[in-house]
Every structure is written in C-alpha cells, then in structure tokens.
Amino acid sequence: MWYDDFVLNVGDSLHRKINEGLRKSRHGVVVLSPSFFEKEWPQKELDGLAALSRERGILPVWLDVTKEDIVRFSPTLADIVAVKASNGLKAVINGLLKAMSKSPETESTQVARINTAQAFQFTKQEIDLLVTAAANDGELYLIEPPDQMAIGCVRVWSRVFDDESDSAVAAQYIDALESLITDGYVRHQEGILYNLTGLGFKVAREIANQTGDDKKK
C-alpha cells in the first residue's frame, strides 16, 4: 500500500514519489467527494491512474456525491461501478477487498511467486529472513547498516554481526532483505521496520512445510 505517512521522508520529491506509487500499484482507490472535485492534486493522480487503467483497476468510492455529480465531472468515470460510503465503512471495505481479490494480475503473480518459492529459487539468506519474520509476528528489524555504523555492528532481525568478522555476511542479509522488498514478499515502512506481506506469509509457510523443520513451522 502506498500511503504518504509511510513512504515520504524529509527531502523527497512529492511528485516523483506519487508517480512511483502509481506505477507500482495494482489498484487505485479513488474517493470521489465534493472536496475531491475542488482539489488539483487528487485529479492529477486520477489522470495518472487513468493512463495506467489497462493494468491498474480504478476502484471508486462515492462520498457525499450522486451519479449526476460524477457525470458532470467525468462521464467515463461515472460508468465504473462504485461502492457508496453511505452504505457504511464495512460495506466499503468488503466491496474493495472483493474487487481486488478478483484481479487476474494479482492471482497470476501470486501463483508464479509461490511456485518460485516451492522450487527454492531463493538464496539461503532470503529463506532465513522470510521464515524468521513469519515466526516473529511478521516483523524484521534492520538497524545501523554498515556504512552508518556508529558502534561497529549491524543487527538484522535477532542476529547481531561484528563489524569486521561478519560484515560480509551482514551485507548478504541486507541485500537479501532489499531483494525481498523489491519482489513484494516483505513491506518496508518507516525506515527500519519490515512487515511480512500476506504473500510473504504464504511463501514462508510453504518453505517451512517443505523443509520439515518443526521450529520453522
């Protein structure tokens, strides 16, 4: 999920970060409201989603607006089935989840990645990180990377590496962590906190089951 409080840091380019989020997102939830029609940024983001609409689904939520309001703003957008906020938050959530679960891209991507996991085409470090995260409530901690070490050590999840003797191993684990983030198995938030995604949990369980390691299970 792209959310400004999770993604943006001091000094970031807002425009570039939004474009990056649009490119990487499988869906765009667009809350159409009177305020939406008055603001320029949300409309620019909607234009970006529309340009990617063949690959990314636009999921509209109507908040305090009617179909006539939407037609006046965009006849094309009015043709997309929406969920109405007036039906309650639970209905909105269920409607969005149902729409996203039907995404062919999401399903095919998950199947391909899980098949990759079953074939063990991960590095040992990546497997260790996935399974350890699954056993640790889905969290990994990365503190003081080697180029920023103030006290001569790096900690990846529960393991501490000495500056000189284990620096190469620590670098392998950091590379593995970045690879898992890039491939969508692990989510990066707030600089040092890594939460395992739902797909990551599936892969970790599959690996644990196939290795037959009770501790990893």
Task: Supply the pLDDT for residue 147.
Answer: 56
d(CA 187, CA 138): 10
Indicate the pLDDT class of residue 114, thresholds 50, 70 and 90. Answer: very low
Task: Supply the pLDDT for residue 6.
Answer: 67
Residue 127 has a CB neighbour count (10 Å cut-off) of: 19
For residue 13, is pLDDT > 80? no
Select the more confidently predicted residue: 163 or 101: 101
Task: Supply the pLDDT for residue 145.
Answer: 56
Are the C-beta atoms of 156 and 169 separated by less than 8 Å?
no
For residue 79, is pLDDT > 80? yes
Indicate the pTM of the whole model.
0.45
For residue 139, is pLDDT > 90? no
Nearest CA-CA partner of 140 in 187, 108, 206, 175: 187
Indicate the pLDDT class of residue 113, thresholds 50, 70 and 90. Answer: very low
Are the C-beta atoms of 49 and 22 separated by less than 8 Å?
yes
DSSP per residue, 127-141: HHHHHHHHHTTTEEE
- Residue 188, helix vs strand vs coil: strand
pLDDT in tens, 144-188: 655 554 455 667 766 777 666 677 777 788 888 888 888 888 887
Indicate the pLDDT class of residue 33, thresholds 50, 70 and 90. Answer: very high
Over range 76-98, report the average pLDDT: 87
The Cα angle at residue 149 between residues 146 and 154, in degrees rounded to 5: 60
Q: Which of the following CATH numbers is that of domain 4-102: 3.40.50.300, 2.70.70.10, 3.40.50.10140, 3.20.20.140?
A: 3.40.50.10140
Structural Rg of the chain based on CA atoms? 21
Indicate the pLDDT class of residue 95, thresholds 50, 70 and 90. Answer: confident
* 106-211 belongs to CATH 1.10.4040: no
- Helix axes 40-51 and 14-24, enclosed angle (nearest 10): 40
- What residue segments make up the domains of the chain, in order of their start? 4-102, 106-211
